Amino acid sequence: MITICNFFNFALFCNSIFFNQFILFHLNYFKLMENKVQLGTVFSEGFTNGMKNLPSLLGALVLWILTIWIPYVNVGTTIAILTLPILMSKGIVFSPLDIFNKKYYRFMGEFFLTSGLMFMGIMMGTFFFFIPGIVISIAWSLAIYLVLDKGLNASEAIRVSNKLTYGNKWTLFAVQLVLGIGFCIAFAIFCFIPFIGWLLNLCLFVVFMAVSLGCSSSIYGTLSKNVEEQN
C-alpha cells in the first residue's frame, strides 16, 4: 500500500514538472513570436526612417569623405557610418556630427575583434558551398550593433545575435534579396537613359543606402527589444 502511494505521489510530481515546463515553453514561444520580424513592417519602417534621415545621411557621408584621410579619426567615423541603424532604430533624426562622437573610439577594439571573428566564421562557412556562409552572415548580422549599443563583448554579441535572429533568417534574407534585386533593376534602367543616367544612378545609390540602413534599423529595433530576456 505504501509503495502504491509513493508511486502515485511520484507520478503526480512528474506530471506537475511536465506541466510547468509545458506552460513555460509556450509562454516563451509566444513571447518570441511577438518579436518576429515582419517583411511588410521592415520595408515600411525602413523607407520612413531612411527618407527621414536622408539629409543627415548625406551630411554624414560628406563629413566621412572629408575626414577619411585623417588617421584615427577615420576609424571612429567609419564605425559610426556602419552602425547608424542603432541611432535610427530609436526613432530619432541623427545629426551628421554624431559620427564624431567619442563613444565610437571607446569601442574600437571590440569593433575590430567582432568584425574579425565574423569574417573568419563567414569565410569558413563560405568554403562549404556558400550557403552556410550566407546563413552565418545573417545570424551574426546584429553583433556589431550589440557591441556598441548594449556594451557586449565580441563573443557575447555574436551569441546573442545568433539567438535574436533565430526564426527570422528567411525574412532577413528576403529583405536583402528584394532590396538587391530592386537596386539592380533600377540601376540597369537608368543606365539606358542618356546624359542624366549617371546622375539618376547616383541618386539611386544614396536612396538605396538610406532605405537599407532604415530596414536594418527596423530589424534591429524589433529584435533587440528583449536582449536581456534572450540572454
pLDDT tens for 50-85 read: 999 999 999 999 999 999 999 999 999 999 999 999
pLDDT at 33 over 50: no
Same domain (yes/no): 190, 93:
yes
Residue 195 per-residue DSSP state: T
- Compute how many other C-beta atoms are within 10 angstroms of the C-beta atom of residue 218: 26
Radius of gyration of the chain (CA): 23
**101 and 197 within one domain:** yes
96 plus 155 within the same structural domain: yes
The tens digit of pLDDT for each residue in 1-28 reads 445 444 444 444 444 443 343 334 334 4
Least confident of 12-26, 94-108, 150-164, 217-231: 12-26
pLDDT at 228: 56
Nearest to 104 by CA among 67, 137, 72: 72
Mean pLDDT of 159-169: 93
Domain count, the chain: 2
| Phi then psi dihedrals of residue 215, to 5 deg | -65, -40
| pLDDT the model gives residue 173 | 95
Q: Residue 6: what pLDDT?
A: 44
Q: Is pTM, for the whole model, over 0.85?
A: no
Residue 31 has pLDDT above 60, yes or no: no
Lowest mean pLDDT among 109-113, 174-178, 227-231: 227-231
The reply to whether 180 and 104 lie within a common domain is yes
- The pLDDT of residue 209 is 94
Q: Alpha helices of 140-196 — where are they, by DSSP H?
A: 143-150, 154-164, 169-191
Closest CA to 217 of 26, 9, 28, 44: 44
Distances (CA, A) of 103 to 19, 83, 192: 47, 12, 45
Helices (H), the chain: 2-34, 39-52, 54-67, 73-82, 84-89, 103-106, 108-126, 131-139, 143-150, 154-164, 169-191, 197-223, 227-230
The domain in which residue 2 lies consists of 1-34
Same domain, yes or no: 28 and 70: no
Q: Are residues 110 and 185 in the same domain?
A: yes
Residues 20 and 94 in one domain: no
The more confidently predicted of residues 25 and 126 is 126
Instruction: Please tell me whether residues 69 and 113 are part of one structural domain.
Output: yes
The verdict on 102 and 6 lying in the same domain is: no
Domain check: are 224 and 210 in the same one?
yes
Instruction: Return the top range by mean pLDDT from 18-22, 33-37, 154-158.
Output: 154-158
Verify that 13 and 61 share a domain, yes or no. Answer: no
Q: Average model confidence (pLDDT) for the chain?
A: 84
Contact 86/219 with Cβ under 8 angstroms? no
Looking up cell 575590430, which residue turns up? 112
Asked if the model's pLDDT at residue 129 lies above 90, the reply is no
Q: How sure is the predictor about 118, in pLDDT bands with cuts at 50, 70 and 90?
A: very high
Q: What is the mean pLDDT of the segment spanning 167-195?
A: 94
Burial code (b: 16+ CB inside 10 Å, e: under 16) for 112-135 equals ebbbebbeebbeebeeeeeeebee
- How many angstroms separate the CA atoms of 194 and 196, rounded? 6
Averaged pLDDT, 193-204: 91
Q: Which three cell numbers stand for residue 76?
A: 571612429
Rounded (10°) angle between helices 39-52 and 169-191? 50
pLDDT at 195: 86
Same domain, 170 and 72: yes
